[in-house]
Amino acid sequence: MLKNAVTLVTGGASGLGRATVERFARVGSKVVLCDLKSSQGEQVAKEIGDNVVFVPVDVTSEKDVTAAIDTAKSKFGRLDVAVNCAGIAVAAKTYNFNKNLAHRLDDFANVLMVNTVGTFNVVRLSAGLIGANEPNKDGQRGVIINTASVAAFDGQIGQAAYAASKAAVVGMTLPIARDLSTQGIRICTIAPGLFDTPMLQALPDKVRAFLAKTIPFPQRLGNPAEYAQLAESIVENPLLNGEVIRLDGALRMMP
């Protein structure tokens, strides 16, 4: 299905999103790469090839997401797949008793706004164009893939906001799959464990090595290309729908 398909990827300038753009483009998909205006998105799109176009997008903005979807239609004629990889994180305890300081409410709200509301914003708007496609023999018109996290299930100390935002992505997977089933649109969610993304690359080598040892097998950080491989498999397997798939090497996060 990906050959000659049109895909929209958020957070596409780095990490899991970039790996997805690279893999999908390599197998013949045309890609609308979405990321913040301040990102390296334009440069990344040029590096990957002519079938990738960059559109600056804040996923919480209806205007920005609509512009990206309009670009898919005007440049490539349609939209078949949307992959949500955009996300942010903040580390803060619910209450810091040493500093007598409560978790900032605006930080909590911002994480949910980007990770949960932003994801839903892309889903709800992309569904319209995907749903306009001619159905295949199964009645399928397209696929949407969201990104949660193992934190949705095993949230750590300081992860209340992040875990809540990702648990919401997990929670909306099945109802959205049911909502969109009448139009032949499948939706699945990937819940990655510890991956070698810019967020973890900023940590000291000792910390990265320690984190890798917490993963039962394979005992290493995940490669973003492995996320992209699963995303491709979801698109290609017509029976995967309404499912949340952990991609974590059997990791269960410590407190």
SS3 state of residue 142? strand
Distance CA 18, CA 252 (A): 26
First to last CA, the chain: 41
Cα gap 3→163, rounded to integer Å:
35
Asked if 95 is an active-site residue, the reply is no
Active-site hit among 24, 76, 162, 227: 162
**d(Cα 224, Cα 200) in Å, to the nearest integer?**
12
Residue that has been written with the tokens 């000659």 in this structure:
4
State the sign of the Cα–Cα–Cα–Cα dihedral 131, 135, 139, 143: negative
Give me the active site residues, please: 162
